[in-house]
Chain A
Amino acid sequence: MQRSPLLARLDSPRVLGYVLIAPAAIILIGLLAYPLLLGVWLSLTSATLGNPGTFVGLQNYATIFADPTFRGAAFYSGFYTFFAEAGKLVLGLALALILNRPFRGQRAARALMLLPWVAPTVLSALAWLWLLDPQFSALSWLLIRLHLIKSNIDFLGHAWNARWALIVVNIWRGLPYFAIGYLAGLQSISKDLYEAAAIDGASGWQAFRRITWPLLMPITTILVAFSSIFTLTDFQLIWTITRGGPTDATQVFTTLAYQRAITGGQLGEGAAIAVSPIVLMVILAFFVVRSVRER
């Protein structure tokens, strides 16, 4: 039986390679590269809603860098990301170390740990909105009952209270991602290493410092890199809880871009705000990749 010429061409590894890679390439170009490039293009135009606008070069960037609201949003985006990542890293590692030890109910604890991560973001944000409410906060109620405070804490009414409150919520939500990642990392470390260290008289801290932490560095790099990107582009938590308030104290790149581009109709300027952290992320990714390579 004679094979069709088309099938015969697939015998060539080169042709077959292109065929196999095509679906992934189409998805990457269509769903990632195209929207990204469109965003970059829009940021270089005077586009408004329903109007493609004209090419204006870097004018939108000049405008936003001169805008104190944007500079405030850039500051809080960085602050929010740094402290949320630091909190998630430390607490996630601690949680993983606890869950890595055998204890009764370990499986149930591991399942429960995932709840904040699997719950829809808007729902958990609404729950936190109630917890942080100036009048009806359960947290304030508890602290009053414990005689630790005398009146409700105004979690969301003052700039720094609101900023830290959102960081705590983000840590709560992202903690399982770090914990589950570290748990996988811990389970991949050979027990022989710990036994050898114990024979040499190493303390628990020394074993952690010399064995556990160095071997967790690759997973740490991946966790921090991915989570930083998610945190830097966080929108739902902040929009639901504060809408960028009070007085723009909790504006971040995404909320400001949404406000300017979608509700305000200034697509070019909104795109410039949305695109601007990409530079930050590329720099971050560069250092992350370099550190992995060095190790």
Chain B
Amino acid sequence: MHDLDRRRFLALSAAGIGAAATAGLPAVASAADASPFKPEKGATLQLLRWTGFVKNDDIIWAENTKKFTAATGVPVQIQSLSWPDVTPKAALAAQVGSGPDIIMGWNDDPFVYPDKLVDMTDLAEYMGKNHGGYYDAARSYCYDPDVKRWVSFPIGVTGNSLVYRKSWAKDAGFAEFPKDLDGMLKLARGLKKAGHPCGFSLGHAVGDANSWTHWVLWSFGGKQANPDNSIAINSPETANALEYAKALYETMIEGVSGWLDPSNNQAFLAGQCGLTMNGISIWYVAKDQFPAIYPDIAHAVPSYGPSKQRTTLNNFSSAFIFKYSKYPQAAKEYLRFMLDSAQAGEWVTGMRGYVTPALKQYGDLPVWTSDPQITPYRDVLLSAKFDGFNGRPGKPAAQALDEFVVVDMFADACVNKMAVKDAMRKAETRLSAIYKRA
């Protein structure tokens, strides 16, 4: 059936009829034919993914899915959930052995149930070879050294950068964003003095609180664990990171210890906060809905600390296929198709860089340099580390992140006024218990 459609499209294109409407489809079909992944006869797919953070995400993903169905004849049903709800839904699928064929999950999800997942080595290696390879963090989250195979296919990250108001920073004496953390603290003090405090979540905000606390921890050389997964949080480096955070906390807006993920976006867009860490969504939303402040919003790559390394923790998404799926080849072909140049380029460009793909080739897309405010998000994976660093990604690292151990350590020191050594010791005890039971 799809062969007939393809011939029809080719004929229509040759006749020059409807060229605009069908642009790219013959190429799409040819690419599908050339793929090493041949969908099973009668295949149908169900995909569970996160609801787009920006509106073009879902729209373009759905359009590309239709192109896949047109090219292969495989219908795909997409189910979208709020991003923190995908992990429990994936866990349920793993437990009952039934559910969506493909799940676009987060961070260490595939390491929680690697035995339940289809080997993705062929797809991961094929795509890596054809699209410039992967960033290190992608491999860390998708290749399981215990079972020695790719258990998941890297999609990309919703990257984090520093988001600030240019004019307010300039008023505080900073025409350029400070490159190091000492400079950033001076900027934060200046902003606070001028009535534009910074705001970094110290509540149980899954994305925002984890991202900035890990960034500061790593910037000072602190780490959760050693490569053999022994606990390493209680260290002079962590103590320095906490002392820095305490000083930064003094410059923050009231209430950050109760902030959940939407809170910093709301405070920033309402003009109550002059500096935060976030994905590109604040700028993206401002472009459409807050034209008055949009030109004043700027992004900066996270400042570096004494470790002299730029580091970030980003929400990493990868796609995995459960063994219960009857159509693993169709599922692989779908993922290959969706992350192939034509579709991925359109998707990333349409989102104005909200997702930074794990395949290095997509760093060359013109969208990244189309606006200087998008460029910092291109580079987030260059410096990205994985949760549990410098231990191994996996169940204990995932649980530590879920239980906000690092976030709570910072909150204990900053908000609860716990002595730094006590906050570290508490985190160490919690981590020891988590790594022991996992």
Contacts and interface: CB of A to CB of B under 8 A. Distances in A.
A245 B91 contact: no
A246 B115 contact: no
B415 A157 contact: yes
A266 B438 contact: yes
Given A159-B416, A245-B404, A248-B408, A67 B258 contact: no
Interface string B377-414: 00000000000000000010011001110001001100
A162 B113 CA distance: 35
A18 B398 CA distance: 50
B112 A157 contact: no
If over half of A's interface residues share one DSSP class (helix, strand or loop), that class is named, otherwise mixed; here it is loop
Contact of A157 (B87, B258, B430): B258
A50 B403 contact: no
A263 B430 contact: no
A61 B190 CA distance: 51
A260 B94 CA distance: 16
Contacts of B430: 69
Contacts of A291: none
Interface residues of A, number: 40
A30 interface: no
A265 B87 CA distance: 10
Contacts of A244: 204
B416 A50 contact: no
Contacts of B172: none
Contacts of A136: 266, 270
Contacts of B113: 49-50, 265
B91 A262 contact: yes
B266 A259 contact: no
Interface stretch (A100-108, A148-156, A280-288): A148-156
Contact of A266 (B87, B206, B254, B437): B437
Interface in A1-56: 48-51
B95 A50 contact: yes
B203 interface: yes
A159 B202 CA distance: 12
A233 interface: no
B88 interface: yes
A25 to B, nearest CB: 26
If over half of B's interface residues share one DSSP class (helix, strand or loop), that class is named, otherwise mixed; here it is helix
Interface range, B side: 35 or more
B260 interface: yes
Contact of B203 (A152, A242, A260): A242
A269 B395 CA distance: 14
B115 A269 contact: no
Contacts of B438: 266
A48 B437 CA distance: 10
Nearest to B411: A247
A110 interface: no
A243 interface: yes
Interface in B153-205: 202-204
B69 interface: no
B112 A155 contact: no
B253 interface: yes
Interface in A128-168: 129, 132-136, 151-152, 154-159, 162
B94 A134 contact: no
A151 B254 contact: yes
A135 B267 contact: yes
Given A49-B112, A50-B95, A246 B202 contact: yes
Contacts of B259: 134, 157
Nearest to A261: B91
B51 interface: no
Contacts of A247: 257, 408, 411-412, 415-416
B395 A157 contact: no
Contacts of B260: 129, 242-243
A68 to B, nearest CB: 8
Contacts of A48: 112, 395
A135 B253 contact: yes
A206 interface: no
B403 A157 contact: no
Contacts of B92: 262
A88 B270 CA distance: 36
A236 interface: no
Contacts of A133: 255, 263, 266
B420 to A, nearest CB: 15
Interface in A182-222: none
Given A136-B266, A269-B437, A243 B255 contact: no
5 contacts: A134-B253, A134-B254, A243-B203, A245-B404, A246-B415
Given A49-B91, A133-B263, 8 more contacts: A132-B258, A158-B257, A243-B206, A245-B203, A245-B257, A245-B411, A246-B257, A247-B408
Interface of B: 87-88, 91-92, 94-95, 112-113, 115-116, 202-204, 206, 253-260, 263, 266-267, 270, 272, 395, 398-399, 402-404, 408, 411-412, 415-416, 429-430, 433, 437-438
